[in-house]
Amino acid sequence: MTARIDPLPARTEDGVILLVSLHDLTSAKRAEQMRADFVANASHELRTPLSTLVGFIETLQGPAADDEEARVKFLAIMQQQASRMARLVEDLLSLSRIEMNEHQPPTTPIEVVTVLRHVAQTLELKAAARGMTIDFDVADERVRAVGDADELAQLFQNLIDNAIKYARPNTPITLGVGPSRRVKEGVAIKVRDRGEGIPRNHLPRLTERFYRVDTARSREMGGTGLGLAIVKHIINRHRGQLEIDSEIGEGTTFTVHLRSSIPGPATAPGSKADD
């Protein structure tokens, strides 16, 4: 959608100022539109399980009041829908918290492999339930990246969880850590699956809020549609980069590039920077 630009008071003769103002107006309108779309999408996502819950409550209070079999079945569905709403609210809160801090990048180096191993451990059972293993390919256990341990844990959790949800059962997931080819002296963390792969045309939109390749499958797997948006915002806050490579029939690799140090002030020639 193209936002309509209202004519500015055309008294200024300074074309540059006019151009800058038009540019600001366009991006302000685009931001406003995106916010409106986000609220509409979030409301819709919450309303769907809510309507289901209300429907089942009414049925249990009315026609199925004395039906024990229906009661057990309906309560299980209601629990599922309530959990879905809880996950959605949790993800919405995470997203807004990360966005609020985005102008303040983390400053301390942490051991990324320790965080990655911890997250992998919490997801091992879920992977095993689909016949999947989580394997490591790490050259240096002690490698450090500048980051917030909780946020990076959430980022790795979202990527590994997606690999478990969307890759073929009985295939391995590989977590690789090595030098980054994109961020100078940085660290690259790879989450690789052997799933169906993602068609190329979806890749540029994958990190948009509520964007899904297959909505029914995402819902069936308990997805909120916010996992990769959260990943993108965490990476933005870390001033890192996200790379997505996917081959149909082969699988998908998400690579997170992080800085291993914070660029310091330029040092005078001949002087030695502190470690």
**Shortest distance, CB of residue 5 to ligand ADP, whole angstroms?**
32
User: Nearer Cβ to ligand ADP, position 151 or 193?
Assistant: 193
Burial class, 173, CB count within 10 angstroms (exposed 0-12 / middle 13-18 / buried 19+): buried
Examine residue 227 and tell whether it contacts ligand ADP (CB under 6 A).
yes
**Shortest distance, CB of residue 225 to ligand ADP, whole angstroms?**
5
Spatial CB neighbours of 21, under 8 Å, sequence gap ≥ 6: 8
Owner of token pair 């002030």: 265
Binding mask 160-189 for ligand ADP (x = CB under 6 A): --xx--x-----------------------
What tokens appear for 23 in the block? 């540019």
Q: Among positive and negative, which fits the CA dihedral 30, 35, 39, 44?
A: positive
Examine residue 218 and tell whether it contacts ligand ADP (CB under 6 A).
yes
Restricting to residues 238-267, name those near ligand ADP by CB under 6 A: 252
Give rounded-to-5 percent helix, strand, coil for the chain: 50, 15, 35
Examine residue 224 and tell whether it contacts ligand ADP (CB under 6 A).
yes
What tokens appear for 113 in the block? 């492999």
What is the total count of residues that contact ligand ADP (CB under 6 A)? 21
Examine residue 147 and tell whether it contacts ligand ADP (CB under 6 A).
no
Binding site for ligand ADP (CB under 6 A): 158, 162-163, 166, 193, 195, 198, 206, 211-214, 218, 223-229, 252
